[in-house]
Amino acid sequence: MYNVREFIYFLLVVIVAVGAMGPASSVGSAGELRTIPLSKRRLQVAELRSAANRYYRHAGGDGHRHRETSTGQVSLHTLARAVVEEPLQGDLLPLGEYYAVLGVDGQVIDVQIDTGSSNLAFAVSRCADCPPSDGIIHLSHWNETSVPCSDQSICLPATCSGLCGGCSYETQACCSFLDPSSCGMTLMYGDGSFVLGALHRGKVSLPAVNITVQRAFFTAILYDSSTFERPKVGGIWGLAYEAAACSPSCPTPLFDSMVKQGLVPRNVFSICLSDKGGALILGGEADSRYRLGPYSWIPIISQSPPVYYEVSIKDFEVGVGGSSLSAYIDSAIFDSGTTLLAMGDTAFTAVISSMKRAVCAGNSSFCHSRFWSEAPACTALSSSALASLPNMTITFKNDVKMVLDPDTYLIKVEVGGELLYCLGVEGIPGLGSTIVLGDVVLRRYTTVFNRENSSIGFAPSVPGCGH
Ligand SMILES: *[C@@H]1O[C@H](CO)[C@@H](O)[C@H](O)[C@H]1NC(C)=O
Ligand SMILES: *[C@@H]1O[C@H](CO)[C@@H](O)[C@H](O)[C@H]1NC(C)=O
Ligand SMILES: *[C@@H]1O[C@H](CO)[C@@H](O)[C@H](O)[C@H]1NC(C)=O
Ligand SMILES: *[C@@H]1O[C@H](CO)[C@@H](O)[C@H](O)[C@H]1NC(C)=O
Ligand SMILES: *[C@@H]1O[C@H](CO)[C@@H](O)[C@H](O)[C@H]1NC(C)=O
């Protein structure tokens, strides 16, 4: 057994293996398209450097570069960056975390919508460290909803690993460190944040659309790392595939349960994000109220079982006929739980030097600005500097293109009447050649996650998403 401090230290420094799991999901038939309004919690400029990167971080190596990162590195890096930021109090960015409201046990809780992970988790009143202001659920029937660590239908001895908290000595059952009779769950994210909790199964409702999911799995958060508090919502709703839910037990994700219980017509959902709020459309494609023009479709990289909404990238260009960065960038994950456009350190350096080449051709002092030194630093930009900024163009399979123009990758913020621009692109050690298309990108493209035919559709979004 570890004590909490040792256990957390263990999480930060040790890479442990995670069990694999079988394929998932059948397709439901009944029900109608359900649209859940998403609200947005705005970020302050000071919080931008620690913006969320909630793609699920597998602890085990499975051939994907970005899943082999050491949590410790990312965590310290994030913290270090948070500390050096100059505070610009009170100035809100047109970015933030998007959340929906869930109902549990007669109470409601805000959960961040995250297509980069697969677990539903929220703070519960037994969590001594959870900030109460962020929303907390009091589970009044703890023993009925708790999944006991002896439940071998889900809490398999084979999954027993350091991620449980404690492996029972006699049975090798995977028990929560903070609630030794419950199945243990440890969720880790790409920004180094993590939570320790206990697996539960019970009713979870979506009050906005009058849907109740029976026997839905969720993780009751009993400890959260300090970085997990930043989104200032009580929990997280992971919408990626079941294979990314193994932490270490593999509970059926909420959306998969909805599909299996026939609560949505199709195994498809869509997301529209805007500067004000957004919409999560369960069971089909967002219609013309949310998008301008038809969808472009790209196949999700085939993996058995599927894990993420990851697609391959054929080319990544900066500027017209500009430098191809395909040597540095070869795939992208659509992730609503990541705030910025995130990429590996090497890819980030390459993107910045290509952009500077485009900008410095006019020999502007802008190319020496702090704006580039460590994104995201915010600066005022002259109209000529703005005009000199190139587009980034991503070419996916089948020559489908997505243009990220300066209006997309820049974040505008007004400080004391002055308009500042911050680069919405960040380098993250360990991401390798995978980039993460976070909210900076998703707020411009309404996105369909078609899990029936394993493809992603995107179309320019209607500003405001119908709000
Ligand atoms: C809940 O379960 C625990 C562990 O099995 C037990 O100690 C406790 O008394 C139970 N509580 C209730 C209210 O049944
Ligand atoms: C909500 O759903 C339940 C059961 O599906 C139904 O009985 C009830 O009338 C619905 N309520 C509203 C307001 O639609
Ligand atoms: C997936 O289905 C959509 C329609 O929902 C279709 O337009 C798209 O081409 C399909 N993608 C693939 C890869 O078959
Ligand atoms: C570019 O700008 C720098 C500093 O403003 C100046 O010293 C240099 O002469 C300029 N180069 C050209 C080719 O204009
Ligand atoms: C960038 O892309 C936009 C929209 O796709 C296009 O209208 C614009 O001309 C492009 N800008 C440059 C400098 O190529």
Question: Which atom of ligand 4 approaches the CA of 365 most closely?
Answer: 5
Ligand 3 midpoint to CA 269 (Å): 13
Mean pLDDT by 10 residues, the chain (467 residues): 51 31 30 78 55 55 28 26 26 62 94 92 89 84 93 80 75 84 87 86 94 97 69 83 91 97 95 89 94 97 92 93 88 92 92 85 70 67 86 96 95 78 85 92 96 97 86
pTM, 2 dp? 0.84
Helix/strand/coil (H/E/C) assignment for every residue in the chain = CCCHHHHHHHHHHCCCCCCCCCCCCCCCCCCCCEEEEEEEEEEEHHHHCCCCECCECCCCCCCCHHHCCCHHHHHHHHHHHHHHCCCCCCCEEEEEEEEEEEEECCEEEEEEEECCCCCEEEEECCCCCCCHHHCCECCCCHHHHECECCCCCCCCHHHCCCCCEEECCCCCCEEECCCCCEEEEEEEECCCCEEEEEEEEEEEEEHHHCEEEEEEEEEEEEEECHHHHCCCCCEEEECCCHHHHCCECCCCCHHHHHHHCCCCCCCEEEEEECCCCEEEEECCCCCCCCECCCCEEEECCCCCCCCCCEEEEEEEEECCCCEECCCCCCEEEECCCECCEEEEHHHHHHHHHHHHHHHHCCCCHHHHCHHHCCCCCEECCCHHHHHHCCCEEEEEHHHCEEEECHHHHEEEEEECCEEEEEECEEEECCCCCEEEECHHHHCCEEEEEECCCCEEEEEEECCCCCC
Residue with CA at minimum distance from ligand 4 atom 4: 365
Q: 150 in ligand 1 pocket by Cβ < 6 Å?
A: no
Question: Which atom of ligand 1 approaches the CA of 148 most closely?
Answer: 5
pLDDT of residue 68: 25
pLDDT of residue 376: 52
Question: Which atom of ligand 5 approaches the CA of 390 most closely?
Answer: 13
Each domain of the chain, given as residue ranges in start order, spans: 4-254, 296-460
pLDDT of residue 44: 52
pLDDT of residue 72: 24
Residue with CA at minimum distance from ligand 5 atom 3: 405
* Fold match, 4-254 / 296-460: yes
Which ligand is located closest to the Cα atom of residue 386?
5
Look up the CATH architecture of domain 296-460: Beta Barrel (2.40)
Q: 267 in ligand 3 pocket by Cβ < 6 Å?
A: no
Q: Which of 110, 114, 224, 330 is catalytic?
A: 114
Which ligand is located closest to the Cα atom of residue 452?
3
The CATH fold of domain 4-254: Cathepsin D, subunit A; domain 1 (2.40.70)
pLDDT of residue 423: 85
pLDDT of residue 47: 55
Is 114 known to be catalytic?
yes
Is 335 known to be catalytic?
yes
| Ligand 4 pocket, CB under 6 A | 363, 365
